[in-house]
Amino acid sequence: MDEILALDRIEGSIAVLETENGKYMDVPLAQLPEGTRQGSVLRRRPNGVYSLDADEEAKRRAENFALAESLFED
């Protein structure tokens, strides 16, 4: 089963990924696919290969936007 991770931040050549249970792990940025950036959502396959998940990223961005909008509603 794939693990879903979010790229929290990049520190030099290290990507700090947040797991689904809220823990953090460091991964060499070179192991991640080209185009990975802060806020990217990745899938880690059982074989350890990472891939970008644009659909999950878009879903999370929309959810976060809706939450932020709700904070400012009268």
pTM here is: 0.81
- Please check the confidence at residue 74 and state whether its pLDDT lies above 80: no
Chain centre to alpha carbon of residue 38: 7
Give the separation between CA 41 and CA 60, rounded to whole angstroms.
9
For residue 33, CA distances in Å to 17, 59, 62, 73 come to 14, 20, 23, 38
pLDDT tens digits, one per residue of 14-72: 999 999 999 999 999 999 999 999 999 999 999 999 999 999 999 988 888 888 989 98
Structural domain range at position 25 = 3-71
User: For the chain, how many structural domains are there in total?
Assistant: 1
- Which CATH number covers residue 57? 2.30.30
- Position 36 scores a pLDDT of 96
Average the pLDDT over 2-14 and give the result: 96
Quote the pLDDT of residue 73: 78
